[in-house]
Structure 1
């Protein structure tokens, strides 16, 4: 899966995007894995919205099996 980071998430990740194999993960497990590898990113992920193929993830138990792209959107100024 392609993970795209925006704004402060890209800064914390040190990249605009990355690829991971998340075929057997749910959203919560992926967030934990990414945070474990990068404490700065962990803080951003806690407050970010995640979009799986353009659809907002509202539960950490959401399966990522069929997802090809995940966008990490931290809060932007004014909202």
Structure 2
């Protein structure tokens, strides 16, 4: 089983109760979104609805495959205010 590193920022970190953790790698971003919502509840689900993901530094909003990189880091970013 392959692992991924998930890093949480601001409201996402508050919802998860941590800034970083290791997870078993899901096949798709949609699966990860579902798993995070189920694990951390409504507060995380709200962050995920309006936020975005960085997958190895690349912004992703689709629900597709996470890719085949050996080392995968997923940053969970809440929406940011300001300009």
TM-score of the superposition, structure 2-length normalised? 0.83
The CA RMSD over aligned residues, in Å, is: 1.6
2:24 paired with 1:5: no
Tell me which stretches of 4 or more aligned residues in structure 1 moved more than 3 Å. Answer: none
Q: Choose from 46, 57, 65 the match for 1:62.
A: 65
Task: Kindly indicate which of the two structures has a greater share of residues assigned to strand.
Answer: 2
Structure 2, unpaired ranges of 5+: none
* Structure 1 counterpart SS, 2:61: coil
* Structure 1 counterpart SS, 2:44: helix
Tell me the CA shift for residue 73 of structure 1: 0.9
TM-score of the superposition, structure 1-length normalised? 0.86
Structure 1, unpaired ranges of 5+: none
Tell me the CA shift for residue 46 of structure 1: 1.2
Tell me the CA shift for residue 68 of structure 1: 1.2
Tell me the CA shift for residue 69 of structure 1: 0.3
